[in-house]
């Protein structure tokens, strides 16, 4: 007869297989594990459900909400734009700002989410400056990991340790208990990458013509990819003729169409930004929208907008950087 320990190992293997298959939702897998532990008698119902009332679990849920808020409100993308604006074409400044930006965000949200947010930002910076992506991606990923050492809420293990200490009768960790050590490690990381780390990574593309050819190749491959999978007709350009009276979220409320990016022309070049709810729209702005032609009917019929057609290599150039975010 299978003992409790053997049953738990088998249950872990089954749960891991279900998650690896990507066919069963993770929350459903968690519920299956809890129910299996109760039915098997390994845990009582009180023991199996006690975790849902744990302060650590509630805190982690709150952190996920804060992280989603930072992404949905555009704050994270704004930080990326500031890094590009202040960093310019200097690899040193960009490296420092990316490390500090990733560490700052990672101190109040999931480091995995930070990496997901910064990857498209770095790809855009690399395309605009000619820097090799690896020279920016690796420092950012290290900073996201180190951010877990800056605050108590930066990573769930910190909360678990603090809660365990409190249950054992010791004083709980404060919000900045890890900060002095984390700050030293973060500064050491910056110094290391500036002094030694960059020498171990690939070089810098100095030739402007090489940069231009690389961008054109990326645009062409992206459009070719969409065309190969019959997706090219799913992306359209719409011009803002006059300031709309209703938000685009209201216009597309019952539609599958989504606004992906906004391009605003200027004297030198067009400025493209990923679209976020509440973004200001002015006459002359162009919108990149995904959806079928029929789903765009609501927009093209309004006097505030003018349909320009499906995205092509010629008319979609200004959205190249925004698509990478």
Q: What is the pLDDT of residue 67?
A: 66
Q: Are 270 and 309 in contact (CB under 8 A)?
A: no
Confidence of residue 219 (pLDDT cuts 50, 70, 90): very low
Residue 219 domain flag: no
Q: What percent of the chain stands above pLDDT 70? A: 72
> How far is residue 36's CA from residue 218's CA, in Å, rounded to a whole number?
50
| Residue that wins the pLDDT comparison between 52 and 106 | 106
CA 132 remoteness from chain centre = 20
101 plus 196 within the same structural domain? yes
DSSP code at position 171: P
Residue 214 lies in a domain: no
Residue 14, pLDDT score: 92
| Domain co-membership, 166 together with 238 | no
CATH of the domain at 249: 3.30.70
Residue-level pLDDT at 130: 75
Per-residue pLDDT at 70: 67
Higher pLDDT, 2 or 259: 259
Please indicate, yes or no, if residue 294 is contained in any of the structural domains: yes
- pLDDT, tens digit, 9 for 90 and up, residues 105-163: 888 877 777 787 787 778 777 777 777 888 888 888 899 889 888 988 888 788 888 88
Q: How many domains does the chain have?
A: 3
pLDDT at 252: 66
Predicted confidence at residue 322, as pLDDT, reads: 42
Range of the domain at 185: 68-200
Helix (H) / strand (E) element for 168: namely: none
260: exposed, middle or buried (Cβ count in 10 Å: 0-12, 13-18, 19+): middle
Q: What is the pTM of this model?
A: 0.51
Residues 6+ apart with CB under 8 A from 148: 106, 111, 154, 155, 157, 158, 182
Q: Based on the fold, state whether residues 196 and 241 are members of the same structural domain.
A: no
Query: What pLDDT is stored for residue 211 in this prediction?
Result: 46
Distance CA 175, CA 191 (A): 26
Question: Residue 204's pLDDT is what?
Answer: 45
In a domain, 221, yes or no: no
Domain shared by 29 and 73, yes or no: no
Residues 192, 72, single domain; the answer is yes
Q: How many Cβ atoms sit within 10 Å of the Cβ of residue 141?
A: 17
Integer Cα distance of 37 and 100 in angstroms: 44
Mean residue pLDDT of the chain comes to 76
pLDDT at residue 167 greater than cutoff 50: yes
In a domain, 194, yes or no: yes
Choice among 215-219, 240-244, 249-253 with the minimum mean pLDDT: 215-219
Closest alpha carbon to 242 in 284, 304, 161: 304
In 3D, which of 51, 266, 246, 257 has the Cα closest to residue 160?
51
* Token pair 């022309």: residue: 265
For tokens 């605050």, name the residue: 151
- 249, 226 in Cβ contact below 8 A? no
User: Is the model more confident about 46 or about 189?
Assistant: 189
Range with top average pLDDT, 190-199, 237-246, 259-268: 190-199
DSSP secondary structure code for residue 47 in this structure: H
The one-character DSSP state at 53 is G
pLDDT at residue 186, as a whole number: 92
The pLDDT assigned to 323 comes to 43
Q: CA quadruple 97, 98, 99, 101: dihedral positive or negative?
A: positive
Q: Is residue 211 part of a domain?
A: no
Nearest Cα residue to 186 out of 159, 154, 153: 154
Contact at 8 Å (CB) between 70 and 64?
Answer: no
Contact of 64 with 309, CB cutoff 8 Å? no
**Per-residue b or e along 9-25, where b marks 16 or more CB atoms closer than 10 Å to that residue's CB:** eebeeebeebeeeeeee
Residue 109 sits in the same domain as residue 195: yes
Among 120-129, 198-207, 292-301, the least confident range: 198-207
Is the pLDDT at 184 greater than 90? The verdict is yes
Mean pLDDT across 19-25: 85
Q: Is the dihedral of CA 124, 129, 135, 140 positive or negative?
A: negative
The predicted structure's pLDDT at residue 229: 58
């Amino acid at each position: 007869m299978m003992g409790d320990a053997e049953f738990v190992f088998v249950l872990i293997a089954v749960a891991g297989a279900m998650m690896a298959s990507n066919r069963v939702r993770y929350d459903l897998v968690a519920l299956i594990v809890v129910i299996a532990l109760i039915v098997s008698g390994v845990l009582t119902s009180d023991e199996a459900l006690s975790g849902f009332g744990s302060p650590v679990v509630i805190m982690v849920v709150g952190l996920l909400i804060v992280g989603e808020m930072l992404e949905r409100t555009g704050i994270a993308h704004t930080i990326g734009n500031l890094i590009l604006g202040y960093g310019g074409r200097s690899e040193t400044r960009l490296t420092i700002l990316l490390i500090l930006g990733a560490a700052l965000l990672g101190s109040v949200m999931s480091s995995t989410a930070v990496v997901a947010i910064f990857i498209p930002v770095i790809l855009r910076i690399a395309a605009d400056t000619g820097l090799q992506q690896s020279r920016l991606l690796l420092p950012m990923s290290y900073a996201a990991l180190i951010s877990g050492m800056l605050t108590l809420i930066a990573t769930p293990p910190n909360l678990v340790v603090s809660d365990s200490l409190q249950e054992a009768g010791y004083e709980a960790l404060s919000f900045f208990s890890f900060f002095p050590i984390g700050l030293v490690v973060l500064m050491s990381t910056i110094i290391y990458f500036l002094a030694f780390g960059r020498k171990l990574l690939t070089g810098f593309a100095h030739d402007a013509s090489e940069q231009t050819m690389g961008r054109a190749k990326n645009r062409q491959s992206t459009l070719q990819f969409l065309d190969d999978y019959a997706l090219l007709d799913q992306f359209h350009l719409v011009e803002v003729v006059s300031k709309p009276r209703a938000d685009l979220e209201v216009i597309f409320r019952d539609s599958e169409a989504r606004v992906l990016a906004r391009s605003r022309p200027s004297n030198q070049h067009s400025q493209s930004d990923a679209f976020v709810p509440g973004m200001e729209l002015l006459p002359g702005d162009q919108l990149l929208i995904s959806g079928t032609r029929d789903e765009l009917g609501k927009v093209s019929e309004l006097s505030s907008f003018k349909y320009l057609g499906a995205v092509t290599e010629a008319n979609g150039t200004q959205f190249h950087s925004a698509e990478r975010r």
